[in-house]
Amino acid sequence: MNTKIPTMEEQLCALLVRYLEPRWTAAPRSRIEVNGATNLTSDLTLDSFQVMEFLMEIEDELDVAIDMNSLSEVHTVSDLARVVARQLDGLAT
């Protein structure tokens, strides 16, 4: 296994940090460490529009269409990584 290849969770964390950077620049005290356990709404205080905007960023960056029905149980970055990985695996078959 090549340990240089980032996991889906790591990729999403990096995308999320990039997405949040303008917000953190404007309000540095709101910066937190983003990891798999980070809750998109309670930890990052993202509203539904911001979550959808971030999902569009993921879709553009990873060239994947995220099934919105699969998002009902997504709360953390790790949850989202599982959904995106399943979508990407479905494209490969």
With cut-offs at 50, 70 and 90, classify the pLDDT of residue 2: very low
pTM recorded for the entire structure: 0.85
Number of domains in the chain: 1
46 within domain boundaries: yes
pLDDT in tens, 20-72: 999 999 998 889 999 999 999 999 999 999 999 999 999 999 999 998 898 98
3 within domain boundaries: no
2 within domain boundaries: no
Q: Residue 37's domain is classified under what CATH number?
A: 1.10.1200.10
- Reduce the secondary structure of 34-90 to three states and give it as a string: CCCCCECCCCCCCCHHHHHHHHHHHHHHHCCCCCHHHHCCCCEHHHHHHHHHHHHHH
77 within domain boundaries: yes
Across 1-5, 22-26, 56-60, 88-92, least confident range: 1-5
61 within domain boundaries: yes
- At residue 1, the pLDDT reads 47
